Amino acid sequence: MLWTEDVIASRVAELGAAITDFYPDGDLLVLGLLKGSAIFLGDLIRRIRRPLKVDFLVAASYGVGTASSGTVKLDYDPATPLEGKHVLLVDDVVDSGKTLSTLIDLLQARRPQSVEVCALLHKHVPAALHYPVRFVGFDAPREFLVGYGLDYAEELRHLPYIGSIVEQKSVQR
């Protein structure tokens, strides 16, 4: 276990306050990247003390493995018009950054006033992320993490804490 339910709740409250201060006015659209951000997004928007709208994106790059496939597939596009709005893209974990960079490029083409990223976890892997992550919950180890919305092959999202999966290596005798 890396972060307990109480530690996560405290950090989400801090992020909500920081986001409230960052966006004092204007139309704010909080855009959740499903499925991993669902639990985090639900808790986060209740901590943001200003009017906002919520919509979702579904993009996939993992499948059933523990490593990204490298290909970003957009399964659901938000219905909400983005032009002139502040868009806060909420993600569960920033790994290589390929998914986020692809999505931000897509969103910016729709002429929002701004696009910022809020991630529960950031692994700080130097790779394909071309944009800064403005709001980060926790700096994360480069391990496969589960719980609080993060899954392994659609399992373990329901855990109220975040933990690491340690792969067992077979021992040859």
pTM above 0.75, yes or no: yes
Residue 154 pLDDT > 70: yes
Residues marked as catalytic: 95
- Provide the pLDDT for residue 61: 65
Mean pLDDT, the chain, integer: 89
- Provide the pLDDT for residue 9: 98
Average pLDDT for 157-168: 88
The larger pLDDT score, comparing residue 17 to residue 127, is at: 17
> 76: pLDDT confidence band, cut at 50, 70 and 90?
confident
- Show the domains of the chain with their CATH numbers: 5-165 (3.40.50.2020)
User: Distance of alpha carbon 44 from its chain centroid, rounded?
Assistant: 11
Do 172 and 156 touch, CB atoms closer than 8 A?
no
Q: DSSP for 106-159, please give it.
A: HHHTT--SEEEEEEEEE----SS--S--SEEEEE--SSEEEBTTB-BTTBSTT-
Query: What is the C-alpha separation between 112 and 110, in angstroms, rounded?
Result: 6
